[in-house]
Amino acid sequence: MDVCKSIDEIREVVKSLKSQGKRIGFVPTMGALHEGHLSLIRQAKEKADEVVVSIFVNPEQFGPNEDFESYPREMEEDLKKCEDEGVSVVFAPNRDDVYDEKKYIRIEVDELNRHMCGGSRPGFFEGILLIVNKLFNIVSPDVAVFGQKDIQQFQIVSRMVYEFNHNIELIMAPIERANDGLALSSRNKYLSLEEREIAPGLYRALNYIEKQIQGGVDTPSLLLKHQKSELEAKGFKIDYLDMFDKKTLQPVETLSKGSEYILAGAVWLGKTRLIDNFLIEL
């Protein structure tokens, strides 16, 4: 497995692989790899001959009071996991390799970041698009795999690929969960033992709402309100819990047959922010 630190180095390695007719799969990560990340790598291996994984904690997607400094960094363990999964190349640049001290050009997002995680994290998706656009230009993959857990990210990146004419196939891999339903996340490391016992409550709330919708409920506002109250009673602080149109990412009040929706929630449990979602097709 090659470990590339510089942009020139990763470009040369990928160029060499492509000259051999290899199809390149790409999994961008911020490290602290868990089974969810490894499932993305496995999906990339199914769609490509060689897999590149990037490990870079992107400062541009963290707000002033967020956890950039404390975000888990486990490079040695991450490299071992990548090697065990048969990854061909890891791109692990330093901040100065990726960003100049001053940036004159930025990417803006309209409407798609108004709700869900974008509603409470201003600048978050602009920071994500900045790094993903850079990584796509640096790595030049044929296919890139993202996780459904970050579904708003996937939808916005998909729109960027379409509007910027990136010649990249995007794949959304299903959410990997613990046995009790908790969506796997690097930030789960922040949970205390007591909080970890409570944490699957978000999954259970979404699961309950989804079953009611599939059973015929087409105006889920009361369901959502009730589940918010239940979660708050258990110690969760609600960021959002709502139904969203899959394409526009706008909240919806009434559900229609033949449409696709995202049932999504974000909550705080202590200092840990948890997100989860279900895709619903009616």
Domain of residue 151, CATH code: 3.40.50.620
Instruction: Say if 110 falls within a structural domain.
Output: yes
Q: Are 116 and 20 in contact (CB under 8 A)?
A: no
Query: In this structure, are 57 and 90 located in the same domain?
Result: yes
Query: In this structure, are 17 and 148 located in the same domain?
Result: yes
pTM value is: 0.94
> What tokens were used for 77?
């363990």
CA–chain centroid gap for 93, Å, is: 20
Per-residue pLDDT of the chain (282 residues; tens, 9 = 90+): 999 999 999 999 999 999 999 999 999 999 999 999 999 999 999 999 999 999 999 999 998 888 898 898 999 999 999 999 999 999 999 999 999 999 899 999 999 999 999 999 999 999 999 999 999 999 999 999 999 999 999 999 999 999 999 999 999 999 999 999 999 999 999 999 999 999 999 999 999 999 999 999 999 999 999 999 999 999 999 999 999 999 999 999 999 999 999 999 999 999 999 999 999 999
Domain boundary among 173, 200, 223: 173
Instruction: Say if 181 falls within a structural domain.
Output: no
Instruction: Say if 180 falls within a structural domain.
Output: no
Query: In this structure, are 36 and 154 located in the same domain?
Result: yes
Query: In this structure, are 164 and 44 located in the same domain?
Result: yes
Query: In this structure, are 63 and 145 located in the same domain?
Result: yes
Query: In this structure, are 36 and 142 located in the same domain?
Result: yes
Domain count, the chain: 2
Query: In this structure, are 130 and 165 located in the same domain?
Result: yes
Half-sphere exposure of residue 210: CA atoms within 13 angstroms, side-chain side: 18
Q: How far apart are CA 128 and CA 62, in angstroms?
A: 9
Phi/psi at 164 (nearest 5 deg)? -95, 0
Is the backbone of residue 90 left (phi > 0), alpha (psi -120 to 50) or beta?
A: beta
Reduced to 3 states (helix: H, G, I; strand: E, B; else coil), residue 25 is strand
Residue 7's pLDDT is what?
Answer: 98
- Which are the catalytic amino acids? 37
Query: In this structure, are 110 and 155 located in the same domain?
Result: yes
Query: In this structure, are 134 and 214 located in the same domain?
Result: no
Residue 150's pLDDT is what?
Answer: 97
Q: Are 170 and 141 in contact (CB under 8 A)?
A: no
Q: Residue 12 is part of which domain span?
A: 2-173
Residue 59's pLDDT is what?
Answer: 92
Query: In this structure, are 109 and 61 located in the same domain?
Result: yes
Instruction: Say if 179 falls within a structural domain.
Output: no
